[in-house]
């Protein structure tokens, strides 16, 4: 069976990756969804 995703850092659901979140802003961090670039993100990588 398919492995569950980690909790999305934008909406909290576990059926998708943070980078694929429908609620993700068009700009900003693809890792956590905050208003900075992924290069400047202090959160651990969430890409699966």
Residue with tokens 């909790």: 7
With CA atoms as reference, report the closest residue to 32 among 13, 47, 22: 47
Taking the mean position of all CA atoms in its chain, how far away is CA 25?
A: 11
For the record, the structure tokens of 33 come out as 């969804």
Give residue-wise pLDDT tens across range 1-48: 566 888 888 888 999 988 788 876 677 787 787 888 888 989 887 655
3-state SS assignment for residue 21: coil
With CA atoms as reference, report the closest residue to 41 among 16, 4, 9, 5: 9
* Per-residue pLDDT at 14: 92
Structural domains in the chain (count): 1
C-alpha 15/C-alpha 38 separation (Å) is: 22
Q: Which residues form the domain of 30?
A: 1-48
* Per-residue pLDDT at 10: 80
* Per-residue pLDDT at 19: 79
pTM of this structure: 0.48
């Amino acid at each position: 069976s398919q492995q569950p995703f980690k909790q999305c850092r934008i909406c909290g659901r576990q059926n998708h990756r943070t980078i694929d979140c429908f609620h993700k802003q068009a700009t900003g961090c693809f890792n956590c969804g905050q208003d900075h670039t992924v290069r400047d993100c202090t959160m651990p990588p969430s890409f699966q």
